[in-house]
A = this chain, B = another copy of it.
């Protein structure tokens, strides 16, 4: 049997559940979640609920559930120690022949807390018992919503966090599509930068994408943004298309 037809006993799966809508996860993700003995749902210390858990609610049928609260701060030590504890739990359950799924919003391969858990597990389990299942990332769902492809033909795409505005400015000249994650804290500086480069009309923002009743869309970006634009916002800037 493939490792992905159902969650196998003694195996761990880091599973992307997409941006938030319960129908934007893959069939593979759904099967693993439905058949897991234990589901670990990451929850930021600043959130009241796990976004990943909300996305998989229709698939929960009595599996054991553990919320793993992780620190929402740029602190390597706190981050690694939080995930070391989670890894101890996962490894001990796998030794007891349980199947364990960690769900994660978006894609576990793209700016995900799964990276730390998987890294910590590599010291505790055989690599062939650790699996990753990709999920739809916010930029894909955002581009679908806007009806505008991220890339065609020769285009170059840069994906980066909006942490350092000077790096964002450099990137504007290095690609045709610039995707910025974790935009919230730098939003005002970013809007000023895009304005300076005459790119506001080519820039779009989404927040709480595909999350029922919470989605905020700003298209194009203007100097006056709604107050409910949060940390997890995604901005897509189209700087052009490459000739082909």
- In the complex, what distance in Å separates the CA atom of A110 from the CA atom of B236? 14
* A155, CB-defined interface residue at 8 Å: yes
Q: Mark A1-37, 1 if CB is under 8 A from B, else 0.
A: 0001000000000000010011111111011000000
* A191, CB-defined interface residue at 8 Å: no
Tell whether, in the assembled complex, residue A151 and residue B110 are in contact, meaning their CB atoms are under 8 Å apart: yes
Question: What is the minimal beta-carbon distance from A36 to any residue of chain B, in angstroms?
Answer: 16
Tell whether, in the assembled complex, residue A134 and residue B136 are in contact, meaning their CB atoms are under 8 Å apart: yes
Chain B neighbourhood of A114, CB < 8 A:
149
12 further interface pairs, Cβ-Cβ under 8 Å (given A134-B143, A137-B140) = A24-B26, A25-B27, A26-B136, A109-B151, A111-B151, A111-B153, A112-B152, A118-B147, A134-B141, A151-B159, A156-B159, A158-B174
A contact residues vs B (CB 8 Å cutoff): 4, 18, 21-28, 30-31, 74, 76, 107-112, 114-115, 118, 127, 130-137, 140-141, 143-144, 147, 149-161, 163-164, 167, 170-171, 174-175, 244
